[in-house]
Amino acid sequence: MRQPACVQVLSNIPNVTERPRLMEIRLTNTYAREKQVFEPSDPDRVTMYVCGPTVYSYAHIGNARPPVVFDVLYRLLRAKFGADHVVYAVNFTDVDDKIIDASQETGEPISTITQRYEQIYREDMAALGNLEPTFRPRATEHIGDMIALMEDLAAKGHAYQGESGLWFHVPSMETYGRLSKRNRDDMIAGARVEVGADKKDPADFALWKAAKDGEPDAAKWDSPFGVGRPGWAIECSAMAKAKLGETIDIHGGGQDLIFPHHENEIAQSECAHGGKPFARYWLHNGFLSMDSEKMSKSLGNVKLVHQLLEKWPGEVLRMALLSAHYRGPLDWTDALLEQSRATLDRLYNALRRMSDVVVEDVEPPAGLVAALCDDLNTPQALAELSRLATEANKAKDADKPRLKGELLAGGALMGLLQQDPDQWARGDDSDAARIDALVAERIAARKAKDFAKADQIRNDLAAEGVEIMDGPQGSTWRKV
Ligand code: AMP
Ligand code: ZN
């Protein structure tokens, strides 16, 4: 039988009374408002859906928090249930009012815009060390599934046709609002954003939006409800069903999606499926802020992942995102980035000192696994990595294979420490190439007896933290 990773770790732990706590993954379920033991419906097919980006511009680092947090959960689930037994879907919203606006403003076809930003998003997420999800469905490839779901809702009396499209009738669902625990007044205030003179109830929301004059053909589909395009929430309900099934184990996203987006996903899926639960565990990450204000495109206080990657290695950004517990706030500052780089330098230096140590298969350290199993306590898990590095720096040779193995296995569970430590010390490739060229220039200057120039290059590099080491084999360098 397959051995869950959390259980394998336990075999090394003498204290038997600790077992049940460590064996379980516990997650804070927004739906229940408490931390619960995670039990999938089927341990051979654990399913997770996370709402993905609307692809009309660059992702900011706040948008990257859910993909990084849920990537750590994906890795933990794979370790526990087996890599082939976890199915993870993150969608692309490639039809939306904002995309239509962008196309009308720039004159570019919709597909050019969505393909460009989808590609950039994929590259950004890979640079942050995220594994590729099992599925990345695009909304425009599931219009038929959305129509089928809407037909079901209409047939069951949960949807009605208006002039501006098809509406979900909120009073037709008794339990609407359970996830967000909103009262009716709050709900109406939230839903009022969606104006529609043809709504029966102010809380009703759009399933299908009738096409307006002048809108591009690429954002229009025929349907039994007229020519138009889907509302945002029906996209997720249909894609989750198509890729994962009617009931999924885990549904994730940022806290701002709880209402109305996730509330509406629940309403659509559960009403279409005769009350069958849509998602069994709802997980929501807290906001990333700058100067205590939520980072958001509408406020304009954003740092784009793409720009940050020009200055910082993706792993530093990942470390910074994991430095706070996912449910709490995280303030994005230069100091946080400097600190994250310093922590990684320290961890990679410990590995570098053990470059020659040969490692057999080693399990991730029990303390780190326990931290992650406890509602993804990444700050605690990072503290465990730091503790291991301190221990490794003082360790006897006999203990080094275990310590190196634990650092690497623990890092892998968090998507960290998988680079060559020497490469890390040298910095990223473009920077390394530039420094290599300067070092070569200095050697040439010395050969030409232009010592002033050679010294100048050495001093310039030293000023940016690069030390040149001259030896019998030639000159090498390292970042200090
Ligand atoms: P959006 O592009 O606004 O739909 O956001 C995409 C994802 O990023 C959603 O899961 C949001 O909840 C999440 N998100 C947006 N802004 C932030 C933020 N400042 N901090 C954390 N998550 C965010
Ligand atoms: Zn969604």
Residue 442 pLDDT: 93
Residue 357 predicted with pLDDT over 70 = yes
What pLDDT is attached to residue 14? Answer: 36
pLDDT band at 191 (very low <50, low <70, confident <90, very high): low
Q: Is the pLDDT of residue 184 over 70?
A: yes
Among 419, 418, 416, 413, which residue's Cα sits nearest to residue 73?
A: 413
Looking at the chain, the whole-number percentage of residues with pLDDT higher than 90 is 82
Q: What is the pLDDT of residue 59?
A: 97
| Residue 166 Cα distances to 169, 196, 210, 317, 406, angstroms | 10, 11, 8, 42, 55
* Ligand 1 mutation pick, 56, 57, 70, 256, max ligand atoms within 8 A of CB: 256
Label residue 464 exposed, middle or buried (CB < 10 Å: 0-12, 13-18, 19+): exposed
Q: Quick one: pLDDT at residue 472?
A: 72
Q: Given the CA of residue 59, which atom of ligand 1 is nearest to it? A: 2
CA 282 / ligand 2 centre spacing (Å): 12
Angle between helices 263-272 and 143-155 (to 10 degrees): 70
Q: What is the percent of the chain with per-residue pLDDT over 70, rounded to a whole number?
A: 93
Please list the residues that pair with 86 across neighbouring strands.
46
Alpha helices in 324-427 (DSSP H): 334-353, 366-373, 378-394, 400-414, 421-426
What pLDDT sits at residue 432? 78
| Ligand 1 neighbours (beta carbon < 6 A) | 51, 53-54, 62-63, 65-66, 253-254, 256-257, 285, 287-288, 294-296
pLDDT at 19: 34
Query: What is the C-alpha radius of gyration for the chain, rounded to an integer number of angstroms?
Result: 26
Least confident of 96-110, 245-259, 461-475: 461-475
pLDDT at residue 1 above 50? no
Lowest mean pLDDT among 7-11, 244-248, 393-397: 7-11
Q: How many residues does the chain have?
A: 480
**Can you tell me the mean pLDDT for 343-366?**
95
Task: Write the residue with the smallest CA distance to atom 5 of ligand 1.
Answer: 63
pLDDT of residue 194: 72
Please say if the pLDDT value at position 7 is more than 50: no
Per-residue pLDDT at 164: 94
* More confident call, 9 vs 410: 410
The token pair at 430 is 């473009």
62 has a pLDDT exceeding 50: yes
Cα→Cα distances 329→171, 324, 373, 461, Å: 34, 8, 20, 38
Q: Which of 102-116, 417-431, 442-456 is least confident?
A: 417-431
Written as six digits, the tokens of 91 are 């969608």
> What is the arithmetic mean of pLDDT over 265-272?
98
Domain ranges of the chain: 36-290, 429-479
Q: Which ligand 1 atom sits nearest the alpha carbon of residue 93?
A: 4
In the block, which residue shows the tokens 């221990």?
A: 391
Paired tokens of 407:
């650092």
Interval 396-426: pLDDT, tens: 999 999 999 999 999 999 999 999 999 998 8
pLDDT digits (tens, 9 = 90+) for 200-250: 999 999 999 999 998 999 999 999 999 999 999 999 999 999 999 999 999
Q: Which atom of ligand 1 is nearest to the CA of 297?
A: 3
Quick one: which ligand is closest to 321's CA? 1
Asked which of 7-11, 132-136, 461-465 is least confident by mean pLDDT, the reply is 7-11
Residue 223 DSSP class: -
- Model confidence band, residue 12 (pLDDT cutoffs 50, 70, 90): very low
Confidence of residue 429 (pLDDT cuts 50, 70, 90): low
Cβ pair 48, 252 in contact under 8 A: yes
Average pLDDT over residues 451-457: 93
Q: What is the pLDDT of residue 11?
A: 37
- In this structure, the strands spanning 279-285 and 228-230 are unpaired
Is 45:85 a contact under the CB 8 Å cutoff?
yes
Q: Which of the 8 DSSP states describes residue 325? A: -
What was the pLDDT predicted at 166? 98
pLDDT band for position 104 (cuts 50, 70, 90): very high
CA count, 13 A, side-chain hemisphere, 228: 21
Residue 436 pLDDT greater than 60, yes or no: yes
With b for 16 or more beta-carbon neighbours within 10 A and e for fewer, the 315-329 pattern comes to bbbbbbbbebbbeee
Which of 250, 208, 211 is closest to 233 using CA atoms? 208
Which tokens hold the place of 335?
């100091």
Model pTM? 0.88
Residue type, 86: V
Phi, psi of 181 (to 5 degrees): 55, 40
Q: Which of 220-229, 339-348, 442-451 has the lowest mean pLDDT?
A: 442-451
**What integer pLDDT is reported at residue 456 of this predicted model?**
93
Ligand nearest to the CA of 60: 1
End-to-end CA distance of the chain: 48
- Please tell me what DSSP assigns to residue 84: G
Cα(50) to centroid(ligand 2), Å: 7
Q: Check pLDDT > 70 for residue 64.
A: yes
Question: Dmax of the chain from CA atoms?
Answer: 89
Residue 35: the pLDDT is 98
CATH code for 36-290?
A: 3.40.50.620
Give the pLDDT confidence score for residue 108 in this predicted structure: 95
